[in-house]
Amino acid sequence: MAESAQGERASLTIGQDEALHCTGPWTLQHLPDLERAVAILSWPRSNELLCDAGRITAMDTGGAVMLYRTVMQLRRQGRHVSVEGLRAEFAELLRMVSANWDRIEVAPATKSGRMEQFHRMISGQAKQAVRALGFIGESTVGVWRLLKRPSLIRWRALLRSLELDGFNALPITGLLAFLIGVVISYQGAEQLRKFGTNIFVVDLVGISLLREISPLIVAILIAGRSGSAYAAQIGTMKVTEELDAVQTLGLSPMQLLVLPRVFALMLILPLLTVYADGLGVFGGMLIASNQLHVSFTEFVMRFEEAVALRHFLIGIGKAPFFAVIIALVGCYQGFQIRGGVDDVGRHTTTSVVQSIFLVIVFDALCSILLSWWNL
């Protein structure tokens, strides 16, 4: 360091005598310049080269690698190069480099072709599908065992999950449902006023919220809030070998971690949906009385005749299925985590995206089926 502070520069020049002259500090700091200089150097033609290294003032392993590389490059061209005048401690470094050099793998990693990439992608997807199927099977077996011996249910884990994923989600779910009710009512108000059919705001808000929007909003919220947490929790347990500890202690990760969460969400989602229905409709009601002069009493009376019970039941009925999707996807992604920190992040994201995707696909299927049956 001391030398470099004086503004000295490392250099490799070819003298009049066709000898190579190495000068200055051959340290990492000065290597980039040196490397550029050497790259454009035109070597003398003679087969016997003398490398005078006596004026190298400092050297680290980087510098030694540089010198060694240069000498080896010249030797590969069939020339004889002798290095002279190198200080003892630098010579030691150079010896260390040459001693380790043959253990260095020179060939860089082979690039895989397009077909190989395609093959890897397909086989990876196939493997994942098989694993996912296996996980569904495993959890079904787990549920079956629980049904045969209900005493195996982990009440503590279940109750804790109810609190964390259900009770603690009440404020945010309520607020969102309320706002969605307000938005739908507002947007409807514009159109309905044009036709003077103000009272139909009840149908609009009631049916859309109860049947579709509340369950979906709750499912999406819980997927983001709890599904991701499941993946991260289980994944971190895997990384820290806690899952292995669970297994060696003779406990089943399925019974301990997955099923309580599945059951908890199956209870939570319908309840949250009812709660979201209430607050959403309330939001719609406020806007209806404010913008469309539909009073609360009128609203409620119209609600009774316009919104059939089946809309409510269909909405509630979908919620447990959404719950199963969210909990299983979250836990499954957690178990898929193999490596370290960024694997946790990736699988957590995947769990949210996949569960929301599957929830919406399932919802669309329900809509199609129910319209076939004229419900």
Partner 1 sequence: MVNSDLQVAPQVAVPIIEVSHVSTRFGEAVVHEDVSLTILRGEIFAIAGGNGCGKSTLMREIVGLQEPTSGSTRLFGVDSQLLRDGQPQENHRRFGVMFQQGALFSSLTLAENVAVPLKEHTQLSPEMIHDIVALKIALVGLPSESATKYPNELSGGMRRRAALARAIVMDPELLFLDEPTAGLDPIMAAGFDELVMQLKALLGLTVVMVTHDLDSLWRISDRVAVLGHGKVLGIGTMQELSRSNDPLIREYFHGPRGRAAESQHKEGTWNPESTTL
Is residue 92 part of the contact set for partner 1 (CB under 8 A)? yes
Window of 43-51, 103-111, 182-190, 326-334 that interacts with partner 1 by CB under 8 A? 103-111
Count of CA atoms in the C-beta half-sphere (13 A) of 184: 27
DSSP designation for 3: T
Q: Can residue 8 be called a binding residue for partner 1 (CB under 8 A)?
A: no
**Residue whose structure tokens are 């069939």:** 78
Residue of 226, 320, 232, 229 whose CA lies nearest to 274:
320
Say whether residue 28 binds partner 1 (CB under 8 A): yes
* Structure tokens belonging to residue 297: 């009493």
Q: Which of 104, 115, 249, 368 is the binder for partner 1 (CB under 8 A)? A: 104
Q: Which residue in 6, 17, 76, 103 binds partner 1 (CB under 8 A)?
A: 103
Give me the DSSP letters along 183-247: HHHHHHHHHHHHHT-GGGHHHHHHHIIIIIIHHHHHHHHHIIIIIHHHHHHHHHHHHTTHHHHHH
> Does 276 interact with partner 1 (rule: CB under 8 A)?
no
Return the residue of 11, 14, 19, 29 that touches partner 1, per CB under 8 A. Answer: 29
Sheet holding 11-14, edge to edge: 11-14, 20-26, 48-59, 80-84
User: Is 247 within 8 Å of 237 (Cβ atoms)?
Assistant: no
- β-pair type (20-26, 11-14): antiparallel
In the complex, what is the shortest distance from the CB of residue 138 to partner 1, in angstroms, rounded to a whole number? Answer: 24
Nearer to partner 1, 107 or 368 (CB): 107
Number of neighbouring beta carbons within 10 Å of residue 123: 10
| Min dist. Cβ of residue 143 to partner 1 (A) | 32
DSSP 9: -
Q: Which is nearer to partner 1, 304 or 342 (CB)?
A: 342
Total residues binding partner 1 (CB under 8 A): 41
Angle at 238 between CA 237 and CA 243, to 5 degrees: 75
Q: Does 95 bind partner 1 (CB under 8 A)?
A: yes
DSSP 327-365: HHHHHHHHHH--SSHHHHHHHHHHHHHHHHHHHHHHHHH
Give me 101's structure tokens. Answer: 């050099």
Residue 305 as a binder of partner 1 (CB under 8 A): the answer is no
Question: Any idea what DSSP says for residue 107?
Answer: S
* Region binding partner 1 by CB under 8 A among candidate stretches 59-67, 183-191, 318-326, 350-358: 59-67
Provide the minimum distance between the beta carbon of 338 and partner 1 in the complex, in angstroms, as a whole number. Answer: 7
User: Is residue 124 within the footprint of partner 1 (CB under 8 A)?
Assistant: no
How many Cα atoms are found within 13 Å in the side-chain-facing hemisphere of 330?
Answer: 30
Q: Which CB, 83 or 294, lies closer to partner 1?
A: 83
Decide: is 69 part of the binding site for partner 1 (CB under 8 A). yes
- Only one of the segments 57-65, 76-84, 279-287, 367-375 lies at the binding site for partner 1 (rule: CB under 8 A); that segment is 57-65
The answer to whether 48 contacts partner 1 (rule: CB under 8 A) is no
DSSP letter string over 264-319? HHHHHHHHHHHHHHHHHHHHHHHHHHHHS---HHHHHHHHHHHS-HHHHHHHHHHH
Nearest-approach distance from CB 343 to partner 1, in angstroms: 7
Site for partner 1 in 321-350 (CB under 8 A): 338-343
Write down the least CB distance from residue 83 to partner 1, Å.
Answer: 17
61 binds partner 1 (CB under 8 A): yes
The yes or no reply on residue 304 touching partner 1 (CB under 8 A) is no
The smaller minimum CB distance to partner 1, of residues 182 and 237, is found at 237
* Position 359 contacts partner 1 (CB under 8 A): no
Cβ closer to partner 1: 5 or 249?
Answer: 5
In order, the DSSP letters of 55-75 are EEEEE-HHHHHHHHHHHHHHH
| Among the listed residues 18, 54, 55, 101, the single contact to partner 1 using CB under 8 A | 101
Can residue 93 be called a binding residue for partner 1 (CB under 8 A)? yes
Q: Give the binding site for partner 1 (CB under 8 A).
A: 1-4, 27-29, 31-32, 35, 57-62, 65-66, 69, 87, 89-90, 92-93, 95-97, 99-101, 103-105, 108-109, 338-343
